[in-house]
């Protein structure tokens, strides 16, 4: 019984003479949007040409037949480097290897291949290469519209299966969603290469990439830079520490978060507050860290090597930027110094460093660890005494005290907790009540346990977390 294959692609197998790859070059799109940039060394190119001459096995290349502006072209799904090697040899860009095996072949057949450019070969020898040598091509048909997202998704899927022997990771899958405004914004800002859809051709650089991504001390393999920007956007949508797991990233690309709309026009999307804030944060992070003291020889910031560390830096700095502080470029030095020292603590991990141990044990991407890391770093930062002034002087507790109280009480309003515990059924988990009694940093009060008017001190010991409602009712009593 034959299964009805949903994704069946019509496939044609042909033997092409090498000259068919050489001319004209423009009919090949060698790096479609889903391809990564990779370049063979000359040695590998020469060894491929040697394989053709010696009639050794060369695996088939996979092409996708597409129609762009009514012109038929071939998109290279697999075989980018092999086709480039053939084209560059036929275009006299390198010589054949002067290897023993080719010299032996020359002797046996009275040829003169070894160490020669294509143009220096005799006509007969040229014909051996361009006409007698062949390469098998598999041509995919039925997914020939590059503007059709489903066609694009299938081509991407085939590419990754051939390339890596594995299926797409979340980001690669998301990267192929070419109609999503979120995807297009993220790719434009964070990817190191780009694709010109108008001309349907690949570009080796991306002039719109934000320079912040050039500071990252890890590559964009498997699109990790795109994942980082997606997580920044999730934090903007939540207006603070948030779930930034792969599942949430996919929801974001699918425009299933907040008020996002998959059909939204690109300009409208870019004008959203969350996007403008993410842009502002990228500018700010770049400004602060482009002069970092710990740089690699190729200009990367040494401590920008772990996504979870960078995400926490992001939540810390965005709090300073959008929160109620007088935060200016005069503080950048202190921030860099703090981050450097904190990073060194994380790297060295002395067993007695409780804050760092807690920080490291919360490296996951769900909301509790992201928030925990944020508060640990905030606490360390304020203890570092950065000299940043809080603008609101009505509050009696200092900022450092507020952070300490908030952390110590685990963000829980004690009165809310009492009420929530009473409301629980006999089989309910107490953790549920705790979760419900938690307040947000943007919306809580540091309350005196012994009232100020009765001589209570403004100290961490005499402070407690209260939600605004309970703080008001306290005061009335």
Q: Applying CB under 5 A, which residues contact Zn ion?
A: 413, 415-416, 467, 470
Dig out the tokens for 399 from the structure.
């900022």
Phi first, then psi: give them for residue 474, nearest 5 degrees: -55, -50
| Contact in structure between 316 and 374 (CB atoms under 8 Å) | yes
Closest distance to Zn ion from the beta carbon of 469 (Å): 6
Question: Beta strand pairing status for 61-68 and 71-78?
Answer: antiparallel
Closest distance to Zn ion from the beta carbon of 213 (Å): 42
Gap between the Cα atoms of 358 and 351, Å rounded? 11
Give the ranges where 1-99 is alpha helix by DSSP (H). Answer: 19-22, 42-53, 80-90
Closest distance to Zn ion from the beta carbon of 471 (Å): 8
329: Cβ–Cβ under 8 A, 6 or more apart, which residues?
287
| Contact in structure between 159 and 35 (CB atoms under 8 Å) | yes
Closest distance to Zn ion from the beta carbon of 467 (Å): 3
Nearest residue (CB) to Zn ion, 416 versus 460: 416
Nearest residue (CB) to Zn ion, 199 versus 418: 418
| Contact in structure between 226 and 190 (CB atoms under 8 Å) | yes
Gap between the Cα atoms of 417 and 209, Å rounded? 47
Among 252, 232, 234, 255, CA closest to 243: 234
Gap between the Cα atoms of 308 and 241, Å rounded? 12
| Contact in structure between 340 and 293 (CB atoms under 8 Å) | yes
Q: Is there a cis peptide before residue 24, judged by omega within 30 degrees of 0?
A: yes
Nearest residue (CB) to Zn ion, 75 versus 447: 447
Helix (H) or strand (E) holding 370: helix 367-383
Nearest residue (CB) to Zn ion, 85 versus 467: 467
Closest distance to Zn ion from the beta carbon of 409 (Å): 11
Nearest residue (CB) to Zn ion, 30 versus 395: 395
Angle CA(20)–CA(23)–CA(29) in degrees, nearest 5?
Answer: 90
Nearest residue (CB) to Zn ion, 48 versus 405: 405
Phi first, then psi: give them for residue 64, nearest 5 degrees: -115, 125
Nearest residue (CB) to Zn ion, 186 versus 413: 413
CA 362 to chain centre: 20
Dig out the tokens for 239 from the structure.
């207006």
Among 162, 152, 141, CA closest to 61: 162
Nearest residue (CB) to Zn ion, 227 versus 463: 463
Phi first, then psi: give them for residue 134, nearest 5 degrees: -130, 160
Nearest residue (CB) to Zn ion, 242 versus 413: 413
- Provide the b/e sequence for 136-155 (b: ≥16 CB within 10 Å): ebbbbeebbebeeeebbbbb
Nearest residue (CB) to Zn ion, 178 versus 405: 405
Nearest residue (CB) to Zn ion, 226 versus 437: 437
Closest distance to Zn ion from the beta carbon of 411 (Å): 11
Query: CA torsion angle for 392, 397, 400, 403 (degrees, to 10)?
Result: -90
Closest distance to Zn ion from the beta carbon of 477 (Å): 14
Dig out the tokens for 249 from the structure.
């990233």
Gap between the Cα atoms of 123 and 106, Å rounded? 15
Closest distance to Zn ion from the beta carbon of 239 (Å): 21
Nearest residue (CB) to Zn ion, 365 versus 415: 415
């Amino acid at each position: 019984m034959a299964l009805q294959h949903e994704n069946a692609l019509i496939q044609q197998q042909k033997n092409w003479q090498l000259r068919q790859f050489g001319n004209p070059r423009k009919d090949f799109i060698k790096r479609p949007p889903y391809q990564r940039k990779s370049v063979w060394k000359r040695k590998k190119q020469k060894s491929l040409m040697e394989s053709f001459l010696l009639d050794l096995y060369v695996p088939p290349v996979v092409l996708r037949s597409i129609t762009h502006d009514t012109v038929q072209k071939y998109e290279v799904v697999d075989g980018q480097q092999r086709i480039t090697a053939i084209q560059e040899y036929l275009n006299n860009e390198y010589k054949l290897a002067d290897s023993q095996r080719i010299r032996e072949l020359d002797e046996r057949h009275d040829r003169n291949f070894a160490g020669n450019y294509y143009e220096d070969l005799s006509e007969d020898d040229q014909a051996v290469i361009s006409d007698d040598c062949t390469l098998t091509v598999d041509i995919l048909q039925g997914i020939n519209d590059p503007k059709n997202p489903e066609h694009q998704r299938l081509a991407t899927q085939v590419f990754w299966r051939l390339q890596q022997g594995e299926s797409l990771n979340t980001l690669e899958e998301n990267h192929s969603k070419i109609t999503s405004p979120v995807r297009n914004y993220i790719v434009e800002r964070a990817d190191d290469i780009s694709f010109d859809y108008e001309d349907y051709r690949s570009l080796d650089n991306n002039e719109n990439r934000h320079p912040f991504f050039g500071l990252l001390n890890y590559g964009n393999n498997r699109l990790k830079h795109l994942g980082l920007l997606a997580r920044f956007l999730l934090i903007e949508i939540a207006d603070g520490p948030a779930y930034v797991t792969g599942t949430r990233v996919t929801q974001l690309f699918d425009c299933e978060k907040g008020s996002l709309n998959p059909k939204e026009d690109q300009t409208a999307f870019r004008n959203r507050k969350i996007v403008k804030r993410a842009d502002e944060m990228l500018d700010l992070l770049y400004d602060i860290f482009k002069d970092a003291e710990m740089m690699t020889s190729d200009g990367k910031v040494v401590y920008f090597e772990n996504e979870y560390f960078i995400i926490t830096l992001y939540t810390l700095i965005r709090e300073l930027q959008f929160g109620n502080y007088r935060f200016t470029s005069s503080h950048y030095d202190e921030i860099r110094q703090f981050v450097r020292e904190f990073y060194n603590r994380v790297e060295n991990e002395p067993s007695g460093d409780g804050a760092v141990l807690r920080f490291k044990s919360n490296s996951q991407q769900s909301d509790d660890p992201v928030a925990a890391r944020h508060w640990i770093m905030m606490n360390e930062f304020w203890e570092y005494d950065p000299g940043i002034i809080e603008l609101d002087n009505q509050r009696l507790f200092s900022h450092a005290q507020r952070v300490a109280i908030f952390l110590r009480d685990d963000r829980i309003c004690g009165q809310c907790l009492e009420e929530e515990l009473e409301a629980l059924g006999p089989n309910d988990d107490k953790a549920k009540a705790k979760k419900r009694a938690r307040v947000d940093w943007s919306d809580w009060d540091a309350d005196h346990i012994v009232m100020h008017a009765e001589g209570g001190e403004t100290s961490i010991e005499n402070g407690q977390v209260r939600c605004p409602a309970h703080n008001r009712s306290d005061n009335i009593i």
